[in-house]
Structure 1
Amino acid sequence: MPERKPRKDAVRNRAAVLAAADALFAGCERPEAVTMADIAEAAGVGKATLFRAFGDRTGLIRALFETRLEPVRAAVEEGEPPLGPAAPPLERVPALLDAVLCLKLDNRHLALALEGTGGDSPYLAPHYAKWHHTLRELLAQVPGLTDSGFTAHVLLAATRADLVEHLVGQEGTGRERARAQLAAFTTRFLEPGSAGRSTGPADGGTPASG
């Protein structure tokens, strides 16, 4: 049996809802203040339409963020160096972190809303697991790096939405300054002999004699 295509009005409504939600999150002071009722009113649809299409507020936020995420994901999986798969890990790691940071900078309040949907833990959000896995796999290829999983968590922490919001919204850090700070931190972290790289045995201890 052929798969049924969404009705044209359903496609239109979905696009209108995502556009309305995008505008509301971009213009709000606090992302938690944006309600389903606000989005429905701005999109010109009933609340029931939102719940049918997205399930709940979390589903809507995730769907909207996915539209922002897709170009970055495509660049990571199929794009050109330094972000694409042909680049060596020491180039791809900083490029990936920069791409994630730019995504958060361009969608500050939406990213904050998303990171608040994982049971109050950003680490439980689906997009985080994706970035962590990709980064961990790249870091595992870096000679001398002893714990790619933990290192991936540490580096991704520098792109957390609440930190981005604090730096940009509270401290007034500009976009290019934030990017430069992250690039410098990542470069230092990945340098041989840094805190992130081992110059001895994998467990950091002294080789046993005999």
Structure 2
Amino acid sequence: MERADAARNRAKVLAAANRLFAAGDPRSVTMDAVAREAGVGRGTLYRRYPDIPSIATALLDEHERSLQEKLLGGEPPLGPGAPPARRLAAFYAAMTDLLEQHIHLTLGAESGSARFATGAYGFWRAHVRMLVKEAGVPGPDALSDILLAPLEPELFAYQRGRGRGVEEIKSALETLAERALAAG
């Protein structure tokens, strides 16, 4: 059980980090800035969070968990019961919405190779791999990572910065899903 003061400090840290991530370039947020904004000491911050990606990951966790629940037991096509290509397209659409709403957090948590170390990435990879296998497409291990590549936060931010709308991105990803998982 978490002590009351530890719970308050955790809430202050997460709220402060969320403000800092949303205020500017999330990749420029530092541990010192989070501690200062939260009004806690560096030791308090480092006891719970070793680095900035771990803070961003904690903030993203609730949103990603909700999506995971829908993938496992929600209504088709996002949940079970739809053909693999439709499920992949629905997953892409849901992830695009998540990126649009929380790009400031995903850039902080999942930039570069840090993306592959998150538990959420492992879940997304397992889900996509299952869809690839279910579709009967060869090479599910390699293809799973390739199919997740378009959801990389920096690529999404780049596309949005170049004027690509969310619906345009979703449409392109739907085409990718349909073609990648076409029955072999």
What TM-score do you get using the length of structure 1 for normalisation? 0.78
SS at match of 2:135: coil
Q: How many residues align?
A: 184
1:66 deviates by 1.3
Q: Residues 69, 114 of structure 1: CA spacing in aligned structure 2 closer, same or farther, 3 A cutoff? A: same
Q: 1:17 aligns with which of 13, 17, 22?
A: 13
Q: 2:55 aligns with which of 56, 60, 77?
A: 60
Q: Distance in 1 between matches of 2:41 and 2:34?
A: 9
Question: Using the alignment, how far apart are the partners of 1:104 and 1:148 within structure 2?
Answer: 24
Unpaired runs of at least 5, structure 1: 193-197, 199-210
CA distance in 2, matches of 1:42, 1:176: 36
Equivalent residue for 1:162, pick from 154, 160, 165: 154
1:129 partner letter: G
Matches of 2:127 and 2:114, distance apart in 1: 20
1 or 2 for the larger relative contact order (CA 8 Å, sep ≥6)? 2
**Correspondences of 1:31-70 after superposition (within 5 Å):** 31-70=26-65
Match of 1:147 in 2: 139
Tell me if the contact between 2:84 and 2:181 (Cα under 8 Å) persists in the aligned partners: no
Structure 2 equivalent of residue 26 of structure 1: 22
> Whole-Å Cα distance in 2 between the matches of residues 94 and 188 of structure 1?
11
Contact 2:71 2:80 in 1 (8 A): yes
1:1-210 equivalences under 5 Å are 5-29=1-25, 31-116=26-111, 120=113, 122-143=115-136, 145-169=137-161, 171-192=162-183, 198=184
What percentage of residue pairs aligned between the two structures are identical? 35
Point out where structure 2 has 5 or more consecutive residues left out of the alignment: none
In 1, Cα distance between equivalents of 2:19 and 2:47: 21
**Cα-Cα RMSD:** 2.0
Counterpart AA for 2:164: T
Query: What amino acid is the match of 2:39?
Result: G
Letter in 2 for 1:191: A
Paired residues of 2:86 and 2:177 also in contact (CA < 8 A) = no
Local SS of the residue matching 2:151: coil
SS in 2 for 1:164: helix
Task: Report the equivalent of 1:206.
Answer: none
State whether residues 50 and 56 of structure 1, in contact with CA within 8 Å, keep that contact through their aligned partners in structure 2: no
CA distance in 2, matches of 1:70, 1:126: 10
Question: Contact 2:116 / 2:122 at 8 angstroms: preserved in 1?
Answer: yes
- The answer as to whether partners of 2:96 and 2:151 remain within 8 angstroms in 1 is yes
Using the alignment, how far apart are the partners of 2:22 and 2:169 within structure 1?
19
Give 1:131 deviation, angstroms: 0.8
User: 1:135: how far off?
Assistant: 0.8
How far residue 190 of structure 1 moved from its aligned partner, in angstroms, is 2.6
Residue 185 of structure 1 aligns with an amino acid whose one-letter code is: L
